[in-house]
Every structure is written in structure tokens, then in C-alpha cells.
Amino acid sequence: MDFWSYFVMDFVKQLQSPTLAFLIGGMIIAALGSELVIPESICTIIVFMLLIKIGLTGGIAIRNSNLADMVLPMICAVVVGILVVFIARYTLAKLPKVKVVDAIATGGLFGAVSGSTMAAGLTVLEEQKIPYEAWAGALYPFMDIPALVTAIVVANIYLNKKNKKKRSAAADSIMQESFSKQPVAAGDYPSSRQEYLSEQQGPVNNRVKIWPIIEESLRGPALSAMLLGLAIGILTQPESVYKSFYDPLFRGLLSILMLVMGMEAWSRIGELRKVAQWYVVYSVVAPFIHGLIAFGLGMIAHKTVGFSMGGVVILAVIAASSSDISGPPTLRAGIPSANPSAYIGASTAVGTPIAIGLCIPFFVGLAQAISGLPNP
Amino acid sequence: MAKPAKKLVIVTEKILLKKIAKIIDEAGATGYTVVDTGGKGSRNVRSTGQPSVSDTQANIKFEVLTPDRDMAENIADQVAIKFFLDYAGIAYICDAEVLYGHSFCGPDGC
């Protein structure tokens, strides 16, 4: 009885947090056709600020903490990242009207981590005065990179298998067939050009190289900002600039980013409607399942090495989140044949609002109910 | 006093910027211009000032001046083979006359 009353009370309270208010506000004004535009360069700088702050926090904390404590949570993060892709491969991909490649890409994006969702989660934990390891933010890359790498590798293995089957048919049918699948491209090419194209399409070696994918995700704007912050936090003494600049601005900037994400979510819903409806179902259910898996693994770390409940919540939140900044370009480059409307639409339009709006309060409530922490 | 040239224009997705730039360089063009752009095509309306947290929606336009049609076609073919099945894109070619341009026309001028 106590469990549920804690849980429900907390959940309702979370729904009134500024983070969520701005997110929903953004969706509402976008739905009303507002002309409000936040310049893209501001979003870029906000993302940079948020992640460098998270990096700095983590770096400063790592300097004063025992590295051995971090090992188990990191392993949990890696496991969840990889698992999420396989869940998508064997659930979403089997649904009718869902292309396997699109499903794998969606899985990769949902396995990858959203910096803004994590920032929102950290803010909620601070507001609730729930203690967590400050280095928990540094778990980000350990889930993000394995998920993206797994998705790209699994998708390419699948595509290579499919291509081999096709190659046993007529030699040049590969090009023709892929052309006919995309009427958009097909009509534009005169026959002479098309002949030229099929001549050029020799046997391509499609072996997937893993290192370039890791390199690309490390170079992405979100991860490079966070790793820079982490390095500065570990190696130098950035406390003065941290206290006077990055820390106080954090919440305000987050609220602007939430507004933008709300607006973007609304503008993408239309795109999602064009692909299969199953993506909506997946992107509502998946954040909870992924989060619960991570929560379970985090609880093991909690029992064995004393990983704090706040840390468990962060692990669950980053598992529930789906990448919106660095993931999409990496996947677009790694799995070009996947339809971006499907996976970006699923993540941005549904997955992220669900993760921020419902999953964060859900997991905070769950953690508080389990540990019986008093509600402040 | 103008040197005839071909202008190749490629409108495509921003994430291909570096890869296409490499193709153009390797084909031997002396230079190129890239602009951010947006508009409507067969796939979707892209980069029309909608708020966006990642760059996946942005479009770019390459303009390359080449001395002959062969080089322009070579670039366009390579780009089309590699990318246009999976990415949004269009390539077209125009006649141009270069009036000034040191590296394009050589030391004697156009």
C-alpha cells in the first residue's frame, strides 16, 4: 500500500516539473502553428553547454572516487545498449509492414543515449534531493557507442546476406531492383545513364568495419563535448568556471532545449504517420522495457557494489532515452538504406517525449518506492 | 574574353558534405562552392527553418565549375552511384562562362 501511494504521488508531482512543462508547451505551440523559431545555432550551443557540464561534473567526481566502483555499472550500460538492438531485431522487425533494416536502425537509436533526456533526469534527481554518483553521467558513452555499433553491424550483416541471395539471380538485377524499390530515384535517370550506373556496380566488399563507427560516434557533437568536459574535469581544476557559469545556467538552458524538442516532436509526428503504425507502439512501449531492464541490472549493482539508487535511476533513464543529437547522423551514414523517417520519427516524435515525460517520473517513483526514501 | 566551362550543381543532404567534397577533389576540379539550402523535393520539405537539434534534416548545394563535360559527368555519376539511392539528391549541369578566376583560367587570365 505504501509502495503504491508513494509511487503515484511522486509520479503526479513529476508531471508538474518545469522540464516536462516546457516540452509539452513546445508541442502545444507547434500544434497551434506558432511562428516561434529558436535558431539552430542556439540549440547547438545549448547541447554543448549541457554536455560539457555533465562531463565536468563527472570528471570532478571521478577525480575523487574509486574507479573500481564504476566497473559494474559500466558493464550494465554496455549490456543494455547491445540488448536493446537485439530486442528490436527480434520484436519490431517481425511486425507486419516493418522493414528489418528500419527496425534495426530504430533499435540502435533507442539503445543510444539522449544527452538532453539524461540532463532532464539529472535535474529531477537534484530537485528531489536523491543522491547519486556524480560520475553516473559518464556512463553515457558506454551505452551509446555499443548500441550504435551493434545496430550498424547487425544491419550490415543482414543486408549482406540478402545481397548474396540476390546475386545468385541475374548479375545486374541488384541495381535495377533497388531502383524500382525507390520510384523517386528511378524516374529521373535516362536509360544511358542507368546503363552506366549498372556497369559501375561491381561486386562490392561490404564488410563492416567497427572502428570507423566508434570514431564517428566519438566525433559527434554530443559525445565530444562530454568527453572534453570529462577530461577537463579530471585533469584540471575547473571548479571556479563550473560554479559561476555552467552549473547555474544548466536548468535554464535545459528548459529552452525542451521547448525546441517539443516543437520538433510535433513536426515529426506527421512523418511517422507515413510509415507503419507499429513504430508508434514500439516507441511507447520500448522506453519502459529498456528502462526496466537497466533498472534490474542496476539493482544488481546496487546490491553488490553499493551503486546508489540515484545511479540506478540514471542508468534506467539513459536506457529509456533514445538518441536525438549524435545518433541519427551516425546511423544515417552507417545504414544508408534504412528510412530515416521511420527511426528518427519514432525516436523524436514519440520516444523522447515518453522517456522524458513518463519514464523519468516512473523510474524516480519506482526507486523511491523501493528504497522507501521519504518524499521531500 | 571568357573561358567556357560547365557548372555542375548537386543538391543533397548535409551529412554527405565531406564525402562529396572528396569526390570532387579527386576528380580534379580546382574548387567548389557549398551553400546551405532548403526546399521541397520528392522526398519531403527539408530544412525550412523548423527547429532541429541535429543536422540530419539540412540540405546543401554544391556548385562546381569544370573545364569540360566529362569531368562534371564523372563527378555526378560517382555521387549518384554512391548516394542517390539512399539519400535525397539531384544533380544538374549548366553552361557557364568564367570571367575571372586565377586558378581556373591559369596565369594568363580568362
> Which of B52, B73, B90, B92 to mutate: most A Cβ within 10 Å?
B52
Q: How far is A311 from chain B (nearest CA, A)?
A: 27
The answer to whether the beta carbons of residues A200 and B76 sit under 8 Å apart is: no
Q: Please state, in angstroms and as integers, the Cα–Cα distance from residue A126 to each residue in A12, A123, A246, A314, A332, following that order.
A: 17, 5, 15, 12, 35
Give me the helices (H) in chain A, please.
Answer: 2-14, 18-31, 40-63, 68-90, 100-111, 115-127, 140-167, 173-181, 183-186, 191-200, 210-219, 221-235, 239-241, 247-274, 278-305, 309-320, 327-334, 340-345, 352-354, 360-371
- Helix (H) or strand (E) holding B65, with range, is strand B59-66
Whole-angstrom Cα distance, residue A45 to residue A253?
9
* Domains of chain B in sequence order: 3-105 (3.30.70.120)
Statement: residue B47 has pLDDT above 70: no
Predicted pLDDT at A187: 43
Contact A43 B51 (CB under 8 A): yes
The answer to whether the beta carbons of residues A179 and B85 sit under 8 Å apart is: yes
3-state secondary structure of B64: strand
**Which of chain B's residues have a Cβ under 8 Å away from the Cβ of A185?**
84-85
How many CB atoms are closer than 10 A to CB A350?
23
Q: What string of DSSP letters covers A298-324?
A: HHHHHHHH---HHHHHHHHHHHH----
Q: How far is B100 from chain A (nearest CA, A)?
A: 33
Q: Please state, in angstroms and as integers, the Cα–Cα distance from residue A5 to each residue in A1, A14, A62, A372, B36, following that order.
A: 6, 14, 36, 11, 54
Exposed/middle/buried for residue A143 (C-beta within 10 Å: 0-12, 13-18, 19+): buried
> If chain A, 376 residues long, is cut into consecutive pieces of 10 residues, what is the mean pLDDT of each piece?
70 76 90 86 87 89 81 92 93 89 93 90 88 88 91 90 74 48 44 53 60 82 87 91 90 89 84 81 93 94 90 94 84 86 86 90 87 58
3-state secondary structure of B45: strand
Among chain A residues, the shortest Cα distance to B76 is held by A193
Contact B56 A329 (CB under 8 A): yes
Nearest to B51 among A178, A179, A264 (CB): A264
Predicted pLDDT at B46: 60
Q: How far is A100 from chain B (nearest CA, A)?
A: 16
Predicted pLDDT at A203: 47
**Which of chain A's residues have a Cβ under 8 Å away from the Cβ of B47?**
none
**Which of chain A's residues have a Cβ under 8 Å away from the Cβ of B15?**
329, 332-333
The answer to whether the beta carbons of residues A316 and A297 sit under 8 Å apart is: no
Rg (CA), chain B: 15
Q: How far is A36 from chain B (nearest CA, A)?
A: 9
Q: What string of DSSP letters covers A9-46?
A: HHHHHHTTSHHHHHHHHHHHHHHTT------HHHHHHH
The answer to whether the beta carbons of residues A197 and B80 sit under 8 Å apart is: yes
> Which of B56, B79, B83, B93 to mutate: most A Cβ within 10 Å?
B56
Whole-angstrom Cα distance, residue B12 to residue A317?
36
Nearest to A329 among B15, B42, B83 (CB): B15
**Which of chain A's residues have a Cβ under 8 Å away from the Cβ of B52?**
40, 43, 264
**Which of chain A's residues have a Cβ under 8 Å away from the Cβ of B50?**
263-264, 267
Q: Which residues pair with B6 in a beta bridge?
A: B66, B95
Contacts A–B by Cβ distance under 8 A = 65
**Which of chain B's residues have a Cβ under 8 Å away from the Cβ of A271?**
44
Predicted pLDDT at A220: 80
Crossing angle of the two packed helices A18-31 and A247-274, in degrees rounded to 10: 40
Which residue do the cell numbers 516493418 mark?
A98
Which residue do the cell numbers 505504501 mark?
A2
Whole-angstrom Cα distance, residue A292 to residue A287?
8
**Which of chain B's residues have a Cβ under 8 Å away from the Cβ of A184?**
42-43
The residue-averaged pLDDT of B31-40 equals: 87
The answer to whether the beta carbons of residues A221 and A48 sit under 8 Å apart is: yes
Q: How far is B104 from chain A (nearest CA, A)?
A: 28
Mean pLDDT of chain B: 85
Statement: residue B8 has pLDDT above 60: yes
Crossing angle of the two packed helices B17-27 and B69-83, in degrees rounded to 10: 150
Predicted pLDDT at A190: 45
> Which of A116, A332, A343 to mutate: most B Cβ within 10 Å?
A332
Contact B90 A184 (CB under 8 A): no
What ipTM did this prediction achieve?
A: 0.70
Q: How far is B50 from chain A (nearest CA, A)?
A: 7
Q: Please state, in angstroms and as integers, the Cα–Cα distance from residue A214 to each residue in A220, A331, A334, B105, following that order.
A: 10, 12, 11, 43
Predicted pLDDT at A245: 92
Q: How far is B85 from chain A (nearest CA, A)?
A: 7
Residue B107 at interface with chain A, using a CB cutoff of 8 Å: no
Full-model pTM: 0.80
**Which of chain A's residues have a Cβ under 8 Å away from the Cβ of B42?**
184
Q: Please state, in angstroms and as integers, the Cα–Cα distance from residue A17 to each residue in A8, A320, A364, A370, following that order.
A: 15, 19, 13, 22
Predicted pLDDT at A297: 94
> Which of B23, B54, B55 to mutate: most A Cβ within 10 Å?
B54
